[in-house]
Structure formats: structure tokens, C-alpha cells
Amino acid sequence: MTRPNFHRLRRHLAGWLLLVCTSPALAALSVEDLAERIGAGDPALGATKARAAGCMNCHGSGTASTSTPQLDGQLAGYTLAQIERFKAGQRSHPQIARDVSAPSITDAEDIAAWFASAAPMRGSGAAANADMARLFEKGDRSRDVIACVSCHGANGSGAISGSDSTPAIGGQSADYLRARLRSWRAGPQSGAPISVMNLITRALGDAEIDALSAWLSQLQPAP
Ligand code: HEC
Ligand code: HEC
């Protein structure tokens, strides 16, 4: 953890204690881990800014549209990187492009911190699918599919390595996951560099992507 982060950590400690008290899942994390997931932004300011920017109209809990990803508990570094991509036109979607281009980078940092500090998205924990569990845990060497868990963490809770954040995917909406995996399989997204996900999805069939998305969406990751 860098020094500036530590400063912020102390400044926001009161707010964080409140978060930790209201979320048993987050209470299991050390203050350092929580700081890493939240990044440099201020979650308390982010709450106000996200509402003002209208993010919650679509990303709020209980949103009807399942093609909209959940952002609760998502790693701030990942959320921020995606906002930057939308701004740069490397990622686009008719529903979000305008909204997400509006906040300044500082505001986006706070908004990302706020989402990261929320109790993580969680699926029903209901669906058993041994084939998908195996693909997630072990991958499939014969097709060059690397085990999802090695980058996305146990139960898809997301993982941080140096300055790279691999997103949380466990408990995410199945429709959104399916759309994302299919779009990677089709190729790099508008102007974005080739992602490791382009390579991983190459070997997956339609039925497999559907089953994998359904299985991932029922996971219950701890942060
Ligand atoms: C009108 C609805 C709408 C609004 C308002 C909206 N979004 Fe989105 N957002 C979406 C949709 C739909 C997607 C999925 C885009 C895709 O499939 O590529 C998305 C995707 C995202 C992603 C990528 C998530 C991921 O897992 O990769 C981030 C980050 C995001 N939005 C942040 C924001 C922020 C921050 C705001 C407020 C400034 C906001 N959104 C406002 C609909 C919306
Ligand atoms: C070598 C590391 C690595 C492996 C293995 C990996 N991923 Fe990923 N995954 C990433 C990275 C990095 C991103 C972010 C990519 C980006 O922003 O372009 C990502 C993004 C995703 C997303 C998008 C999440 C969102 O919110 O939009 C999904 C879904 C996903 N991966 C599913 C999988 C599945 C399923 C597997 C296993 C079959 C897998 N990944 C294996 C590194 C990996």
C-alpha cells in the first residue's frame, strides 16, 4: 500500500468503521485489504456523487434490467478502468456512454470507491453444475482455457495483483456475463487492446457460455 493511500485510510477511517459494522462480509477483511479494494477514492463522497450522476437509476440494487451489471463490491481499480474506457470510446454501449462520460476522474474515483465498499453482489448459491465448477477451478488444458479461479479469485470474488484488478464475477447477472463472454469471443471491443478474455473465450461454445454464466451468477463470493 502506498503512502497517500495510508493518509486517506486514516482520514476515512470513521466512514469505514461504519461500513464494516453494516457489512459482515467486509468485516472479515483486514483494513489493508479493504483499502486496496476501495482504492484512492472517498466512498462517502462517492455515494452522493453516484446518486447525483444518476448511476443508481440503472446500477441500483433491484434494477429490473439484468443486462446491466451489478457494481456492488466490485474492485474500484476495475470500475475506474472501465469508466476510463467508456470515456475514451474503447468500450461503448448505447445505454451508458453519455452518463459515464460526465463525471470527472476524481469523481469517478470516489464513485468507484463507494461501489467497492458496498456488500458484494451475491447469487442464490443454488445451482450445482459439476462441469462448470471444474472449468472454473481447473480450466481445460486441451483447449487452452485457463482456470478462471486463477485470476478471478475464489468464488469469483475478484483479485488485485500490483496495479491490475481482475473483476469480481461471482454473483453477477447471468445475462450480462453471457453478453460479455460472447462479445469477447467475437473479438476485441471497439479500439480496446486484445484482452486475455479474447483468448480464453475462443474455445467456448454457445451452450457452454450459457451454462457458465448461469453457474457464475449463483456464486456467493466473500470479498
Ligand atoms: C441508463 C442506464 C445506465 C446508467 C445511468 C449508468 N449505467 Fe453503467 N452500465 C449500464 C449498462 C447497460 C452497462 C453494460 C454495458 C456493456 O454491456 O458493455 C453498464 C456498464 C457499466 C460499467 C462496466 C461494469 C463492468 O462490470 O464491466 C461501469 C463501471 C459502469 N457502468 C459505471 C457507471 C457509472 C459510474 C454510472 C454513473 C456515472 C453509470 N454506470 C450509469 C447502464 C447504465
Ligand atoms: C489470466 C487471467 C484470467 C483468466 C484465467 C480469466 N480471466 Fe476473466 N478477466 C480477466 C481480466 C484481466 C478481465 C478484465 C478484462 C478487461 O477489462 O478487458 C476479465 C474479465 C472478465 C469478465 C468481465 C466482468 C465484467 O464485469 O464485465 C468476465 C465475465 C470474465 N472475465 C469471466 C471469466 C471466466 C468465465 C473465466 C474462465 C473460463 C475467466 N474469466 C478467466 C482475467 C482472466
Is residue 219 predicted with pLDDT exceeding 90?
yes
Instruction: State phi, psi for 133 to the nearest 5 degrees.
Output: -60, -40
The count of other CB atoms within 10 Å of the CB of residue 220 is 17
3-state helix, strand, coil in the chain (%, to 5): 55, 5, 40
Question: Which fold would CATH assign to domain 130-217?
Answer: Cytochrome Bc1 Complex; Chain D, domain 2 (1.10.760)
pLDDT in tens, 37-78: 999 999 999 999 999 999 988 897 655 457 899 999 999 999
Distance 168 CA to ligand 2 centre (A): 9
Query: Which three-class secondary structure state does DSSP give residue 7?
Result: helix
Picking from 129-133, 159-163, 175-179, 208-212, which range would have the lowest pLDDT averaged per residue?
159-163
C-alpha cell at 196: 486475455
Contact 136, 148 (CB under 8 A): yes
User: How remote is the C-alpha of 68 from its chain's centroid?
Assistant: 12
What residue segments make up the domains of the chain, in order of their start? 3-117, 130-217
Q: Which of 20-34, 83-97, 157-171 has the lowest mean pLDDT?
A: 20-34
Dist. CA 44 → ligand 2 center (Å): 29
Q: Is 177 in the pocket of ligand 2 (CB under 6 A)?
A: yes
- Can you say how many angstroms the Cα of residue 165 is from the centroid of all Cα atoms in its chain? 9
**Strand ranges, E, within 37-162:** 159-161
| Ligand 2 within 6 A of CB of 59 | no
pLDDT in tens, 172-214: 999 999 999 999 999 887 777 788 899 999 999 999 999 999 9
Which CATH class name applies to 3-117?
mainly alpha
